[in-house]
Structures are given as structure tokens and as C-alpha cells.
Structure 1
Amino acid sequence: MANTPQAKKRIRRNTNRATINGARMSRIRNFVKKVEAAIEGGDKQTAADALKAAQPELARGVARGVLHKNTASRKMSRLTKRVAAL
């Protein structure tokens, strides 16, 4: 158990950050799922629009420190290839 005031504050802060970061990751996943659903549906225009909306969300995740830069880049690249293949 935390003994020092700094350690107690760090525990409080970590739980708050985990909640916020979880919400951010959930939001990113929802945007990516919309793209994947449009790809599965075979609608290129809807998939392209969903991809255009998902790209800034992934970039924001990188800026906020929720996603690694290469992970976001890889996801964008793979989704873009799949949309282009429709």
C-alpha cells in the first residue's frame, strides 16, 4: 500500500488517467469498426468517408499518448489498402 503522499496522489492520478485513456481508445476503436463495417458491406464511398473520419482520431490518439505512432500508422495503412481494393 502507498505510504507517501506522492504515492497516494499517483494512485489517484493513474486511475483517472486510465478512465480517460480507456474512453479515448474506445472512441478510436469505434471509428475503426465503422470503416471495417463499410468495407464488409462493400460500399466504397461509405468506407472512404469513414476512413477520412477515422484518420484524425488515430492521429489524436498518437498525440495524446494512447497509441504508439507506428501502430496508428500501420492501422491507417492497412485500412487505406482495404478501402482502395474495393
Structure 2
Amino acid sequence: MPNTRSARKRVRIAERNRLRNKMYKTRIKTAIRRLEEALSGGDDDAIRAALRRALSAIDRAAVRGAIHRNTAARKKSRLMQRLKKLGRAS
């Protein structure tokens, strides 16, 4: 347990930040899952919309510091590779 006032405050801040980062990471996972569902469905409009949401969620998390920018770039690159492999890149 923290002993000083400042240490107690840091614990509160760290918990708040952890929850915020968790929210961004969860949004990324959900967006990617929805993109995969759209890919299996085959509707091009749904795929484009899901891709836009996924890329936006990844970029937003990177800007906020929830994930590293290289991690964001890697995730986006892998998504685009999968789309290209299926011949659905737009």
C-alpha cells in the first residue's frame, strides 16, 4: 500500500489511466472482430465501413497513448494485407 499522499494519488491516476487504455483496446478488438464478420459476409459496403471504423479506432488509441504507434501501424498493415489477399482492398 502507498504511504504518502502523492503515492496514493499516483495509484488513483494509474487506475484511471488503466481503465481508459482498456477501453481503447477493447474498441480496437471489437472493430477488428466486426471487420472480420463483414469480410465473411461479403458485402463490400459493410467491409468498407467496418474497415474505416477499425482504422479509426486503432489511430485514436495510438494518438491517446493506449497503444504504441508502431503497434498501431502493424495492426493496420495486417488488416490491409488480409483485405488485399481477399481482393477487397479499396
TM over 0.5: yes
Indicate if the aligned counterparts of 1:61 and 1:67 stay in contact, CA closer than 8 A: yes
Structure 1 spans left out of the alignment, 5+ residues: none
Q: Secondary structure at the match of 1:3?
A: coil
* Aligned positions, number: 86
- What is the RMSD of the two structures over their aligned residues, measured on CA atoms? 1.5
Moved more, 23-32 or 39-48: 39-48
Structure 2 spans left out of the alignment, 5+ residues: none
Question: CA separation in 1, counterparts of 2:59 and 2:82?
Answer: 19
- TM norm structure 2: 0.83
Indicate if the aligned counterparts of 1:21 and 1:66 stay in contact, CA closer than 8 A: yes
Moved more, 46-55 or 68-77: 46-55
Question: CA separation in 1, counterparts of 2:34 and 2:69?
Answer: 21
Aligned residues with identical type, % of pairs: 37
Indicate if the aligned counterparts of 1:39 and 1:82 stay in contact, CA closer than 8 A: no
Displacement of 1:13 after TM fit? 0.9
Alignment of 1:1-86 (within 5 A): 1-86=1-86
Question: CA separation in 1, counterparts of 2:85 and 2:41?
Answer: 13
